[in-house]
Structures are given as C-alpha cells and as structure tokens.
Amino acid sequence: MRTYKLTVSYDGSRYQGWQRQATTDNTIQFVLEWSIGKLVGYRVHVDGSGRTDAGVHARGQVVSVKLSKLYDPQEFKDSLNRYLPEDIRIVKAELVKNGFHARKSAKGKKYEYYIDCREKPDVFSRRYCYHYPEKLDIEAMRSAVEYLVGVKNFTSFTDDKDCGDPIRRITNIKIVSTGDKVRITYYGTGFLYHMVRILTGTLLEIGTGKRDASMLPVVIAAEDRSLAGFLAPARGLFLRKVYY
C-alpha cells in the first residue's frame, strides 16, 4: 500500500461538515472517499487533519489515503479533480512515507476568520465572512491576545461538554483591520470543537466594549462555557494551513 497526502480546498457552504455521517452523504469526507473510489475502482478510507463544522471552509485541509497502486501525484490530482464537484478541489497531491497520518502527524494548524463590519454586507464575500456591523476597537482586541496565547485549559471555549482533554496551545493570534474588514488568524497545536468560533465571538465582544480583555484569565480559570463569548457563525471560518 502507498500513502498519499492530499491538500484540499473546499467551500463548506452546502456541506454538513467534514466528517462522514450515517444520516447523510453530504459531507466532504464522503464525497472525497466516493470520488477516489470511483477513480481507483475500490472503496477507500481517507483521514483528515481534523473535522471542520458544517459551513466552515478550507484552503489547506490535509488528507491522507492509502492506495494499492503507485500513481503519478500530478496525474492523480488532475484525474481526481475531474470527479469532484466544483466546490471541492485537490490543490496538491504527494506520495509520502507509509506511516504518515493527516491528523496524528500534524504539528499545528492555522485558521483564519473573516469579519465584514460595513453597514450592509458585501455582495460578493457575504458567504465567506461574518457580517458584524459594529465599530470595533482593534487595539482592545489585540490586548486580549496575551491572555489567550500559551498552554491553557480551554474548557470555557468549547461546546464539547464531554471533552476529555481540553488542554491546547495557542502560539499566536493576529488581528488585521483593512477598512471595514477584519481578519483574525489563529495559530496553535490544535483546537477544540467550536474553539476558534467562540474565541472569535469573545474577541468581538471585547472589540465592542461588551467585555474587558483583562477578565479573560477569570473566564479561562472558571472552565465554564457560559462565561465566554458567543459562537461566531461558521461561514467566516477557514482552515488555512496544517503544519507537519
């Protein structure tokens, strides 16, 4: 068996998230497995670097798959893209050493969240950002970063009530404002269920003066989801890159 590493870009708008589900075929994982199966002639299983929620997008999701035949990576990529719908695209295909696993081998991830603060949402980007027509204090939001970076228990920032391992390491958060648009970039070793979206909601509440950044240590120490910010919508979130 040969192991292939696929870098995948997708528009998550019409899908029920990454993970295969018993009740629907409308997931990224299912579509990839079905399409690769059609190409190679047998059923396959693909492993993603992590699950993205329904409506979340990816520019750099990474997938590993084991195949019985040796393929030229470029030809395999081009052939597979002909089977895939137009909102899922293989950006890169690589033959890698056996033992590589998209999730288990990952060292870190980069997520981007896009916000549109203008009065009316931009016609062309409205499906790929959160329309939040408020005046944001960007410096107040940046002042919150120091409280979030590092190894911490992020129980307050997940909607997984049965999370057995809530310890995660955020290495950096960058907040960039260009006109009425804001991009928040998160770097970390891994993220919990809904974690990036809850962090985003919390930062937006700080940016609008609804909460004080200096109180974040209290929120973290409490390990209580109700004390953190709102869950920002899925459509503004992109999995940008996975590090190995």
Domains and CATH numbers, the chain: 2-96 (3.30.70.580), 108-243 (3.30.70.660)
Can 87 be counted among the known catalytic residues? no
Locate all alpha helices (DSSP H) within the chain, ordered by sequence.
28-40, 73-83, 138-143, 145-148, 195-207, 216-222
Flag whether 111 is marked binding: yes
Using a cut of 0.75, tell me whether the model's pTM lies above it: yes
Give the Cβ contact number of residue 67 at 10 Å: 17
Listed as own residue / partner, the contacts of 146-151 with beta carbons closer than 8 Å and 24 or more positions apart are: 147/213, 147/214, 147/216, 147/217, 147/220, 148/173, 148/199, 148/216, 149/173
Q: Give me the pLDDT at residue 162, please.
A: 87
Q: Give me the pLDDT at residue 213, please.
A: 97
Element housing 130 (H / E): strand 130-131
- 10-residue mean pLDDT series, the chain (244 residues): 97 95 95 97 96 96 97 97 97 97 97 96 92 96 97 96 93 96 97 97 98 97 97 98 98
Phi, psi for 165 (deg, rounded to 5): -140, 85
Q: Give me the pLDDT at residue 149, please.
A: 98
Q: Is 31 helix (H, G, I), strand (E, B) or coil?
A: helix
Spatial distance between the Cα atoms of 171 and 243, rounded to a whole number of angstroms: 13
> Considering just the CA atoms, what is the radius of gyration of the chain in Å?
19
Single out the catalytic residue among 11, 25, 47, 53. 53
Are 17 and 46 within 8 A, CB to CB?
no
Are 166 and 142 within 8 A, CB to CB?
no
With CA atoms as reference, report the closest residue to 110 among 186, 59, 189, 172. Answer: 186
